[in-house]
Amino acid sequence: MRIVLNGGHMPGMDPGACGAYSTEAEICRKVMESSARLLRDMGNEVLTVQSDELEAIAGAVDGFGADIFVSIHCNGAVTQAAKGTEVYAMSEEGYELGLCIDRAIVDYLGTADRGVKEGSRLYVVNQTEATAVLVELAFITNPDDEWLLNERTDDFASALAAGIIQYIK
């Protein structure tokens, strides 16, 4: 399988959502890189791309001829109470992929399950021919979720890879 992992936002240029002590862009980069290593070890061709320009991401995805595209994000909210994992998809296949990833993260990390949602408004997911989803790992603005994102970053990466492998099977 040819898989593109896109870490959301761009460290140093676009931090994305910010928690009390960490930023979405940094977490997404770590999860993207660890997950890519795991997926490559299992025989997949994996392209990682992180950029603050959405057109650059969409171009890289199409040039690579990806079967699967996963954009990795952390959620943010004004209220600290919002927490949990959710996935956005815009096609039937995307929904299936999203279910596999959502279940894997909730199982591995014990985050609140917010489910798979329709995400046709998400530009990057719209621009690619690949089966595409956008994953919100957890809420960086919730203290419990932010702790998980920082202390168990590799478990998020493992769960993401496991969810993708589950879908491929």
Return residues touching Zn ion (CB under 5 A): 8, 16, 73
Q: Give me the phi and psi of 146, to 5 degrees please.
A: -65, -40
Comparison of 73 and 103: residue with beta carbon closer to Zn ion: 73
Q: Give me the phi and psi of 50, to 5 degrees please.
A: -135, 125
Q: Minimum CB separation from Zn ion for residue 108, in Å? A: 21
Q: Minimum CB separation from Zn ion for residue 154, in Å? A: 20
The residue among 65, 46, 48 whose CA lies nearest residue 57 is 48
Comparison of 44 and 160: residue with beta carbon closer to Zn ion: 160
Comparison of 8 and 94: residue with beta carbon closer to Zn ion: 8
Q: Minimum CB separation from Zn ion for residue 153, in Å? A: 16
The single-letter code of the amino acid at 168 is I
Q: Which residue is nearest to Zn ion (CB)?
A: 73
Region of 70 please: left (phi>0), alpha (psi -120 to 50) or beta: beta
Q: From CA 118, how far away is CA 120, in angstroms rounded?
A: 6
CA within 13 Å, CB half, 124: 28
Comparison of 16 and 163: residue with beta carbon closer to Zn ion: 16
The residue among 17, 12, 8 whose CA lies nearest residue 51 is 8
Q: Minimum CB separation from Zn ion for residue 14, in Å? A: 9
Between strands 68-75 and 113-118, the pairing is unpaired
Q: Give me the phi and psi of 86, to 5 degrees please.
A: -145, 155
Comparison of 44 and 153: residue with beta carbon closer to Zn ion: 153
Q: Minimum CB separation from Zn ion for residue 45, in Å? A: 25
